[in-house]
């Protein structure tokens, strides 16, 4: 909200510099977002009066006005069409800084000969002064502008751009801000004097008001002004509206807007002659009732919206927008003026449903106190009588079914200290509250006070609300900073958080870069993971109001985003890429919030080591991915089996389920070529995925220490020739089933000319060790023979010659 300081000054003396004032307001919760200085650059520009106009000897469209500046007179060359004898203008002498009317750039005025005549200054347009974009005509100042006065003193201003929090509708106006400044700077507030002459005929005989929905309209006030003349509003009023960011329209509309900016109460003017039955009815709309609003659009209403109606139908949507049928037009002579209070939630609902945000709507939905209606109604009536002529009917209509007494709130110094942690005296407390217009009465004890809230404050209900007011005025810097002194609450750390951190550390240690991607994705993206298209089962959760098609569904896995990240990075990375993400995935559940397990997904492809001057380049493969998973699980103390799997996004036969204690907790494998193609990746890429939430229980087990072997080990190498399809795991399981076998390492796998077709060679290094004695060759030979026998009988393995 924009507020000009000159306007503020009518109600409170401003004793601080504008920057100090801005700071003071900001600290007290009225944030000054911006400060605009109008006329800051108007050095040397003064108010002048045109005392003579001569034609230019060499140019028809130019003239030579002589301008009186009080102490001297200057004749300039001017091309504006609106030069008039006696007008007050803004005169810029040579050297003044102005805005170029065509380029919009600042420049310094030089003396110049224009078509043969010297011009030593100029009469400025609004654009040249930086006030508006109007450049054709020169600015004409009000007749009372004092000749010779610096223009900055007369027309300059400082405009505060304020951010008013939703709890303070009382600050959405100049008087509200003036009231805050008065309290914060210890000055008094002076309100406009409101009085006007009334005609003899009482208003009740000319209009009646009925509130049929008192729950949505606690108060409705109206006044009647007859014999008005619709026209432009005076320049000073237009200028204030402009400074506040509103466009002048006509005197009546401008005056209602002016009072809304001044008092914070939105007002509406009806053409009295168009009100049928001379009766106003405030009621809920009929379901499907239609009304054409001021903007010419027909609006269809629902039964939970409030309308202002006459005996024939609705004439306005209450608090949101007036109706076209009752609009004030050029020919209007009688004004029925409305100042009412409406239910904030109802206005908020209606305004949003009809998508009709407005200054009035914004004020109503934050809560206008019913007590404000009459002062604002009378002020508006006064200004209409003053500025648009006409005569006010005797009295006002005031229907007030929602009248409620303000209950006083009990406040004690002890309560203030309990909440703030610092003691303020009762005098300080009463002083702060009184300055804001609260009424304080001594309570039962010397440390207590009964506080009554002033009518304009809709946000004060509880003791804590008063305490905020006190500290706002006294200052937050008066609160000390203390450390928590209570004993530490019992800690129950969530184990999954520790697991996430640990997994992140391990993976970064393995060379993986963490990424964070959006949780929302698209069906198109998810479908790229399917080599053969089919409907997703289950369907991921969809947003009711997706911002874009790319962010419509909650991701059921991290895969798609990681693949997209891989693909995007490949455009500028030529070495190996290793990425991982740790985050929630969202799995729909019946009639409940989705399950949100913590997922871990890693992706890798490209060269194993960065391109180097030494060594040859090798590509990452399945066993790199599996090695990372094995290393991770090993560090987490989890033993897993890898079993053949059928994940459709991965290559058949090049993928393994990660199985712990019989449960599948993840998968590792090479991505399906069609999936890679869909993500525009043209190289093999490997992926692993683990459900951390499901893994968690297996990471918590109790570990026992294994003693370091005291007796020496005997190491034997054994190369086996075996059918190609027999897995390493089956061989390993047999070898490990024998006593004294301490460790088995596969150190060579070979298939080729040296072994028969359909066969492969596996070479193992077996470490034999006993915890009780030093082994002899004889003992080891015996076990080794037994192992070989079993491998041969069960798997058909023979020792390679």
Q: What residues numbered 522-541 form the site for other proteins, per CB under 8 A?
A: 541
Among 345, 446, 549, 652, contact with other proteins (rule: CB under 8 A): 345
Contact set for other proteins, span 29-48 (CB under 8 A): 29, 31, 33-34
Query: Hey, is 286 helix, strand or coil?
Result: coil
Q: Calculate the CA dihedral of residues 510, 512, 513, 515 and round it to 10 degrees.
A: -130
Mask for 303-342, x = binds other proteins (CB under 8 A) = ----------------------------------------
Question: Are the C-beta atoms of residues 783 and 775 closer than 8 Å to each other?
Answer: no
Tokens read off for 747 = 């150190």
How many residues are there in the chain?
801
Nearer to other proteins by Cβ, of 129 and 361: the residue is: 361
Report residue 349: phi and psi, to 5°: -60, -50
Question: Are the C-beta atoms of residues 452 and 437 closer than 8 Å to each other?
Answer: no
Contact set for other proteins, span 605-624 (CB under 8 A): 609-610, 612-614
Measured between its terminal Cα atoms, the distance across the chain in Å is 92
Among 106, 543, 619, 715, contact with other proteins (rule: CB under 8 A): 543
Nearer to other proteins by Cβ, of 346 and 649: the residue is: 346
Mask for 568-597, x = binds other proteins (CB under 8 A) = xx--xx--xxxxx--xx-x-x--xxxx-x-
Taking contact as CB under 8 A, which single stretch among the options 23-31, 49-57, 723-731, 753-761 is the one that binds other proteins?
Answer: 23-31
Nearest to 371 by CA among 457, 264, 455, 459: 455
Among 40, 421, 653, 701, contact with other proteins (rule: CB under 8 A): 421
Tokens read off for 41 = 């650059």
Nearer to other proteins by Cβ, of 456 and 586: the residue is: 586
**DSSP string of 450-503, one letter each residue:** EEE--TT--S--SHHHHHHHHHHHH-GGGS------SPPPPP---HHHHHHHHH
Tokens read off for 372 = 């404000």
Instruction: Respond yes or no on whether the N-terminal peptide bond of residue 538 is cis (omega within 30° of 0).
Output: yes
| Count of residues near other proteins by CB under 8 A | 101
Contact set for other proteins, span 501-520 (CB under 8 A): 501, 504, 507-520
Among 28, 203, 259, 718, contact with other proteins (rule: CB under 8 A): 28
Among 2, 6, 348, 790, contact with other proteins (rule: CB under 8 A): 348
Nearer to other proteins by Cβ, of 387 and 633: the residue is: 633
Question: Are the C-beta atoms of residues 581 and 514 closer than 8 Å to each other?
Answer: yes
Nearer to other proteins by Cβ, of 200 and 488: the residue is: 488
Contact set for other proteins, span 769-798 (CB under 8 A): none
**DSSP string of 618-684, one letter each residue:** -B--HHHHHHHHHHHHHHTT---EEEE---TTEEEEEEEEEEETTEEEEEEEEEPHHHHHHTT--S-
Contact set for other proteins, span 149-188 (CB under 8 A): 165-168
Q: Which residues contact 55 (CB under 8 A, 6 or more apart)?
A: 63, 64
**Least CB distance to other proteins at residue 344 (A):** 7
Sign of CA dihedral 423, 426, 431, 434: positive
Question: Are the C-beta atoms of residues 440 and 451 closer than 8 Å to each other?
Answer: yes
Nearer to other proteins by Cβ, of 418 and 785: the residue is: 418
Query: Hey, is 248 helix, strand or coil?
Result: coil
Mask for 475-494, x = binds other proteins (CB under 8 A) = -xx-xxxxxxxxxxx-xxxx
Neighbouring CB atoms inside 10 A of 623's CB total 11
Taking contact as CB under 8 A, which single stretch among the options 20-28, 436-444, 674-682, 686-694 is the one that binds other proteins?
Answer: 20-28
Among 54, 229, 441, 542, contact with other proteins (rule: CB under 8 A): 542
Nearer to other proteins by Cβ, of 200 and 544: the residue is: 544
Among 344, 390, 556, 605, contact with other proteins (rule: CB under 8 A): 344
Question: Are the C-beta atoms of residues 582 and 598 closer than 8 Å to each other?
Answer: yes
CA 287 to chain CA centroid, nearest Å: 34
Contact set for other proteins, span 356-375 (CB under 8 A): 365-366
Tokens read off for 332 = 């209007």
**DSSP string of 175-223, one letter each residue:** HHHHHHHHHHHT----PPP----EEEEEGGGT-EEEES-TTT-SEEEEE
Contact set for other proteins, span 280-299 (CB under 8 A): none
**Least CB distance to other proteins at residue 6 (A):** 22
Among 13, 14, 16, 27, contact with other proteins (rule: CB under 8 A): 27
Among 422, 549, 715, 749, contact with other proteins (rule: CB under 8 A): 422
Residue 269 bridge partners (DSSP) = 337
**Least CB distance to other proteins at residue 511 (A):** 3
Q: Which residues contact 187 (CB under 8 A, 6 or more apart)?
A: 12, 13, 15, 181
**Least CB distance to other proteins at residue 19 (A):** 9
Contact set for other proteins, span 75-94 (CB under 8 A): none
**Least CB distance to other proteins at residue 186 (A):** 18
Nearer to other proteins by Cβ, of 398 and 596: the residue is: 596
Taking contact as CB under 8 A, which single stretch among the options 45-53, 276-284, 560-568, 777-785 is the one that binds other proteins?
Answer: 560-568
Nearer to other proteins by Cβ, of 55 and 421: the residue is: 421
If one asks whether residue 407 binds other proteins (CB under 8 A), the answer comes out as no
What Cα–Cα distance (Å) separates residue 199 from each residue in 333, 396, 603? 15, 12, 85
Q: d(Cα 417, Cα 463) in Å, to the nearest integer?
A: 12
**Least CB distance to other proteins at residue 658 (A):** 21
> How many degrees, rounded to 5, is the angle at CA 269 between CA 266 and CA 272?
150
**Least CB distance to other proteins at residue 576 (A):** 7
Nearest to 80 by CA among 148, 118, 128: 128
Mark 502-536 as b/e (b = at least 16 C-beta within 10 Å).
Answer: ebeebbeebebeebebebbbbeebbebbbbeeeee
Nearer to other proteins by Cβ, of 82 and 567: the residue is: 567
Q: d(Cα 56, Cα 117) in Å, to the nearest integer?
A: 8
Tokens read off for 641 = 């089996």
**Least CB distance to other proteins at residue 166 (A):** 4
Nearer to other proteins by Cβ, of 509 and 796: the residue is: 509
Nearer to other proteins by Cβ, of 48 and 602: the residue is: 602
Among 420, 451, 560, 720, contact with other proteins (rule: CB under 8 A): 420
Q: Calculate the CA dihedral of residues 99, 100, 105, 107 and round it to 10 degrees.
A: -70
Nearer to other proteins by Cβ, of 295 and 573: the residue is: 573
Among 551, 654, 716, 790, contact with other proteins (rule: CB under 8 A): 551
Q: Which helix (H) or strand (E) holds 441?
A: strand 439-442
Nearer to other proteins by Cβ, of 33 and 441: the residue is: 33
**Least CB distance to other proteins at residue 767 (A):** 28
Contact set for other proteins, span 423-482 (CB under 8 A): 462, 464-465, 467-468, 471-472, 476-477, 479-482
Neighbouring CB atoms inside 10 A of 11's CB total 21
Sign of CA dihedral 350, 352, 354, 356: positive
**Least CB distance to other proteins at residue 365 (A):** 6
């Amino acid at each position: 909200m924009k507020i000009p300081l000159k306007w503020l000054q009518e109600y409170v003396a401003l004793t601080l510099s504008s920057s100090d004032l801005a700071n003071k307001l900001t600290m007290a919760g009225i944030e000054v977002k911006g400060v605009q200085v109008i006329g800051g650059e108007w050095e040397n520009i003064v108010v002048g009066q045109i005392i003579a106009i001569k034609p230019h000897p060499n140019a028809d469209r130019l003239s030579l006005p002589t301008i009186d500046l009080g102490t001297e007179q200057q004749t300039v060359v001017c091309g504006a069409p609106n030069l008039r004898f006696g007008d007050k203008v803004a005169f810029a002498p040579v050297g003044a800084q102005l805005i170029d009317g065509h380029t919009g750039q600042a420049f310094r005025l030089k003396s110049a000969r224009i078509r043969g005549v010297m011009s030593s200054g100029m009469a400025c347009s609004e654009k040249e002064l930086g006030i508006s974009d109007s450049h054709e005509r020169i600015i004409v100042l009000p007749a009372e502008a004092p000749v010779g006065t610096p223009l900055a003193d007369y027309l300059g201003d400082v405009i505060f751009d304020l951010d008013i929090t939703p709890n303070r509708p009382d600050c959405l106006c100049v008087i509200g801000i003036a009231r805050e400044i008065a309290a914060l700077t210890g000055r008094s507030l002076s309100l406009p004097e409101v009085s006007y002459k009334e005609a003899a005929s009482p208003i009740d005989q000319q209009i009646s008001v009925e509130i049929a929905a008192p729950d949505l309209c606690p108060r409705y006030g109206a006044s009647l002004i007859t014999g008005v003349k619709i026209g432009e509003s005076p320049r000073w009023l237009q200028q204030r509206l402009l400074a506040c960011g509103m466009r002048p329209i006509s005197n009546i509309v401008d005056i209602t807007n002016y009072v809304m900016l001044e008092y914070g109460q939105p007002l509406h003017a009806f053409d009295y002659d168009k009100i049928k039955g001379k009766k106003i009815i405030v009621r809920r709309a009929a379901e499907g009732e239609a009304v054409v609003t001021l903007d010419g659009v027909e609006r269809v209403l629902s039964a939970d919206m409030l309308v202002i109606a006459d005996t024939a139908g609705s004439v306005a949507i209450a608090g949101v927008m007036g109706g076209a049928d009752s609009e004030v037009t050029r020919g209007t002579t009688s004004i029925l003026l409305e100042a009412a209070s409406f239910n904030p939630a109802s206005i908020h609902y209606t305004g949003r449903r009809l998508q009709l945000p407005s200054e009035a709507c914004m004020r109503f939905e934050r809560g206008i106190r019913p007590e404000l209606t009459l002062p604002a109604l009378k002020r508006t009536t006064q200004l209409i009588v003053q500025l648009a002529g006409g005569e006010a009917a005797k009295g006002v209509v005031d229907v007030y079914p929602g009248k409620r007494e303000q209950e006083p709130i009990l406040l004690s110094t002890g309560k203030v200290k309990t909440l703030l942690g610092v003691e303020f005296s009762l005098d300080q407390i009463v002083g702060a509250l009184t300055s804001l217009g609260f009424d304080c009465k001594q309570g039962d004890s010397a440390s207590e006070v009964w506080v009554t809230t002033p009518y304009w404050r809709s946000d004060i209900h509880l003791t804590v609300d008063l305490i905020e007011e006190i500290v706002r005025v006294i200052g937050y810097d008066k609160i000390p900073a203390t450390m928590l002194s209570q004993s530490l609450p019992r800690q129950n750390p969530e184990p999954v958080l520790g697991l996430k951190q640990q997994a992140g550390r391990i993976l970064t240690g393995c060379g993986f870069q963490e990424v964070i991607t959006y949780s929302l994705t698209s069906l198109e993206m998810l479908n790229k993971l399917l080599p053969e298209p089919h409907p997703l089962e289950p369907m991921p959760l969809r947003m009711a109001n997706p911002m874009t098609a790319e962010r419509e569904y909650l991701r059921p896995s991290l895969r798609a985003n990681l693949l997209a990240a891989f693909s995007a990075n490949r455009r500028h990375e030529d070495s190996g890429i290793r990425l991982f993400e740790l985050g929630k995935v969202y799995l729909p559940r019946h009639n409940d919030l989705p399950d949100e397990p913590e997922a871990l997904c890693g992706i890798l492809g490209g060269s194993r080591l960065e391109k180097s001057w030494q060594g040859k380049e090798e590509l990452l493969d399945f066993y790199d991915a599996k090695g990372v998973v094995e290393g991770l699980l090993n560090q987490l103390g989890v033993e897993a089996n890898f079993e053949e799997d059928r994940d459709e996004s991965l290559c058949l036969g090049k993928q393994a389920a990660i199985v712990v204690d019989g449960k599948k907790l993840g998968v590792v494998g090479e991505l399906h070529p069609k999936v890679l193609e869909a993500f525009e990746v043209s190289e093999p890429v490997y992926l692993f995925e683990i459900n951390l939430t499901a893994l968690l229980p297996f990471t918590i087990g109790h570990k026992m220490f294994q003693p370091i072997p005291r007796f020496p080990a005997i190491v034997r190498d054994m190369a086996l020739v075996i059918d190609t399809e027999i897995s390493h795991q089956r061989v390993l399981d047999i070898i490990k089933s024998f006593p004294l076998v301490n460790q088995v390492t596969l150190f060579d796998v070979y298939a080729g000319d040296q072994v028969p077709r359909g066969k492969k060679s596996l070479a193992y290094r077996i470490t034999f060790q006993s915890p009780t004695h030093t082994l002899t060759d004889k003992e080891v030979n015996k076990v080794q023979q037994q192992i070989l026998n079993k491998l041969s009988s069960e798997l058909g393995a023979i020792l390679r010659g």
